[in-house]
Chains A and B, each alone.
Chain A
Amino acid sequence: MRSATKRLTLCAVLAALALALSYLESSFPPLVLPLPGAKLGLANIVTVYALYALGAPYALALVLVRVLLGAMFAGNASALLYSLLGGAAALGVMILLKRSKRLSVYGVSVGGAAAHNCGQVAAAMLTLGNAAPLAYLPALLVVSLFTGAFSGFIAALLFRRLPPDGL
């Protein structure tokens, strides 16, 4: 994909898709009780795809657009910090893991899911001014193994159907 216009267009389409998936997922009940916030992370599938298809700068732009517009559409400014820290941590770790040519999309996705939960717990600690949310992290990390593998599975399917080199 050589054209900057094509990249920008794909980035916009992926941002819209990520936003729609985030909105859809917000209506799902928590995966594990009593672990609120433990979600499949459907939008992360799009981030993984963007990271490989468009590169880190576009993936970062996509995450920022999704987080900002998501908070705006939901009318929930307090959720902005959670989404921002979670999304930034996930993308940062996935960029690092992607540099290792040995990892598949599954490993990158699991690392991103775990980092996302770490970022959200950090946001909760900042919001509450209390270390209590840290106790949430062990269970969330276990959940991230499954949600990350699920995202990796869907992303792998997507890459087979829509290989980035073919766009």
Chain B
Amino acid sequence: MVTSMNRSPKLKLNRWDALVAAVVLALSLALGAAFWTPTAARSGGLTVVVSVDGVEVDRAALPDYSRGSPHVYEGGGYAVTVQAHDGVVDVTESTCPNHDCQRTPPIKRAGQSIVCLPARVVVALENAYGSDAGFDAIAG
């Protein structure tokens, strides 16, 4: 099979490469602005919502959730321990392979979430306005 193709790539950086990088950066900033805009004005009356494999399994006001902590959720063959204390929600333990969800900073504002991909667990904070503010971090 003989095909004609450009088999001699340019090997030095040029301004067109910079344009590609600028487009990627602009996309990143636009998405970041959409998802990570602070929502301090809406941070009252937080609710913890936990879903496993796309199904909501727990929903409670943050003070109630704190009193019942720690909570253990199982999914994908792994167990994820979630604890709420002092107004924040944190994944304190996980049996997932890389424990990235454990390393994710605690969440404290509406719209933030911690995701454990291997366990398919999503821990999110909502308020009376829902979770339109965006999310914090994904971990696996």
Contact = CB atoms under 8 A, between A and B. Distances in A.
B20 interface: yes
B7 A141 contact: no
Nearest to A124: B117
A89 to B, nearest CB: 13
Contacts of B3: 55, 57
Given A37-B140, A134-B31, A145-B25, A156 B11 contact: yes
Contacts of A164: 7-8
Nearest to A126: B54
A10 B54 CA distance: 43
Interface in B104-140: 104-105, 113, 115, 117-118, 120, 122, 124, 134-140
B117 A128 contact: yes
Contacts, number: 149
Interface in B3-62: 3, 5-14, 16-17, 19-21, 24-25, 27-29, 31-32, 35-36, 51, 53-54
A127 interface: yes
Contacts of B51: 130
A62 interface: no
A139 B7 CA distance: 33
Interface residues of A, number: 53
B71 interface: no
Nearest to B13: A106
A72 interface: no
B17 A128 contact: no
Given A7-B1, A100-B16, A36 B98 contact: yes
B85 interface: no
Given A55-B3, A128-B122, A135-B36, A110 B24 contact: yes
Contact of A138 (B1, B11, B29, B113): B29
**4 smallest beta-carbon distances between A and B, as pairs:** A129-B54, A135-B135, A107-B17, A138-B32
Interface of A: 2, 4, 7, 30, 33-37, 52-53, 55, 57, 78, 97-98, 100-108, 110-111, 114, 124, 127-139, 141-142, 144-145, 149, 156, 159-160, 163-165
